[in-house]
Amino acid sequence: MDQNQRQKRLRLLVSKFNKERKKQAKKIDMLCNDLIMAQRDFIKKLNAISFAADFYKSLIGINDLSRLLSAAQKLIKNEIAETNVSFFLRNTNSSGAQLSESNKSITAPTNQIENYFTAEVTENICKANKICSLEEMFAMGLQGNLVELNKISAFAIPLSQLGRSLGFILIYRPSENKLTSDELNKISAITCGLSRAIQSYKSLSHVNDVE
């Protein structure tokens, strides 16, 4: 084998080695990215669980529905920055839903969106019994000042017990800081226990009214 052939063969080997090295490096990068994503998802889930645990702990000992909703509202607003939070609950004796008493004292101009929720709209949202975006609420009949509504990012998060809708949480803030899926997941993590507490208070209130 002459010198030229040896050099050619060496270049081929080096080229093959470099291709293989790049291929392995790409696989390592993909694996690292997958691990980073998995770690981020795990941390997000831990944060949601931690928030839920702190949320339930803070509500222990509250024996009044209005106080429960006020405390829940404060906890959610502390966790999800710069948000407005309201509760719409179904009436015990009808299928309609209405703004809870703990929210009716809100008078700030930015909270006027609650006034757009008619009995028909709230009932449609309750029947959907799922997280609804502002666009979906428009499709359900929500009407109002479009200029103002287009300035906000809003979602309705269901409150349900054993598949039965009890109402929903309305959360919103300016659209330049849109609500994220992670933030919505955090709130969803506490709706099961919160719904159970609401149902218990409503049932107890009904029994007391009967007596």
Per-residue pLDDT tens over the stretch 113-138? 888 898 899 999 999 999 999 999 99
The token pair that represents 124 in the structure block: 């449609």
Structure confidence at residue 197 as a pLDDT band (50, 70, 90): confident
Closest to 106 measured CA to CA, from 170, 180, 177: 170
What local confidence, expressed as pLDDT, does residue 168 receive?
A: 95
pLDDT in tens, 128-166: 999 999 999 999 999 888 788 888 999 999 999 888 899
CA distance 45 to 166: 26
CA distance 70 to 135: 27
Average pLDDT over residues 175-192: 90
- The CA angle 20-23-27, to the nearest 5 degrees, is 140
Q: Which residues contact residue 140 at a Cβ distance below 8 angstroms, ignoring those fewer than 6 apart? A: 121, 124, 125, 128, 132
Look up residue 196 and give its DSSP letter. Answer: H
What local confidence, expressed as pLDDT, does residue 51 receive?
A: 67
Helix (H, G, I), strand (E, B), or coil: what is residue 130? coil
Dihedral of CA atoms 169, 172, 178, 181 in degrees, nearest 10, equals: -10
What are the strands, taking DSSP E only, across 162-201? Answer: 164-174
pTM for the full predicted model: 0.72
What local confidence, expressed as pLDDT, does residue 100 receive?
A: 67
Higher pLDDT, residue 184 or 46: 184
CA distance 148 to 25: 51
Q: What's the chain's average pLDDT? A: 79
**Cβ distance 161 to 188 under 8 Å?**
no
Higher pLDDT, residue 187 or 109: 187
Among residues of the chain, what percentage have pLDDT more than 70? 72
pLDDT in tens, 12-54: 776 776 777 777 777 777 777 766 776 667 666 666 676 677 7
What local confidence, expressed as pLDDT, does residue 189 receive?
A: 87
What local confidence, expressed as pLDDT, does residue 55 receive?
A: 74
Q: Provide, for the chain, the percentages of residues in helix, strand and coil under a 3-state DSSP scheme, each rounded to the nearest 5.
A: 65, 15, 20
What local confidence, expressed as pLDDT, does residue 76 receive?
A: 92
CA distance 85 to 110: 11
Dihedral of CA atoms 106, 109, 114, 115 in degrees, nearest 10, equals: 110
Dihedral of CA atoms 133, 138, 142, 143 in degrees, nearest 10, equals: 130
Higher pLDDT, residue 8 or 188: 188
Structure confidence at residue 196 as a pLDDT band (50, 70, 90): confident
Structure confidence at residue 109 as a pLDDT band (50, 70, 90): very low
